[in-house]
Amino acid sequence: MMNTIPRRVAPTPVVETIKNFISLLATCIGLAIIVVGLKYTMDIFLLIFTILKTPTLLQEPVRQIAEIIGGVAFDRKMEGGTMFLANIMALTIYCCGALVCAWLTLALMQTGAKIVSLNLGDQNAVKRILQSVFGKKLQSKENSREDQLRTRDKTSSQA
């Protein structure tokens, strides 16, 4: 016969509940930051690949930047022709801007990952969850190494 007396569940303290809620909220914010950084990274790579496929799209922004920084004042006339230094400086500024944007998006993603990592805290939690879901099928590397060492010891002692 089964025991029908209900067990009393110890109530969780309010502080622990608030701590778990804040941790969950911070983890969600960290994941959102990672997703935003991933979206901006995809935009930057799309821009780079678009420029590589059709370089003429870069012509107008470089011309506008060259006009802003001085235009024809930087051009140098040489025997073989004219060296357009303003365009070279504008292209350098444009590429450095893209590099800074890429660096910022990667920093954004790294910050989101650190937030998630700090809030999850327990490094073995994922292993325990996977082992509880998959049971004995999923062994950790340490357990499998210990099993291999045991079988080697047994085989060497039998020989």
- The answer on 132 and 58 residing in a single domain is no
Provide the terminal-to-terminal Cα distance of the chain, rounded to the nearest Å.
54
CA distance 98 to 88: 15
Residue at 7 is within a domain: no
Six-digit token string for 124:
């073995």
Tally of structural domains, the chain: 2
- The answer on 130 and 117 residing in a single domain is no
Six-digit token string for 38:
């991933």
**Can you tell me which residue has the tokens 């079988």?**
151
- The answer on 96 and 152 residing in a single domain is no
- The answer on 91 and 28 residing in a single domain is yes
Neighbours of 2 (CB within 10 A): 4
Please list the pLDDT of the chain residue by residue as tens digits (159 residues): 556 666 666 676 778 778 878 888 888 898 999 999 999 999 999 998 999 999 999 899 888 988 888 877 777 788 888 787 888 889 999 999 999 999 999 999 999 988 888 887 655 555 666 666 676 665 555 566 666 666 666 666 665
Give the CA radius of gyration of the chain: 30
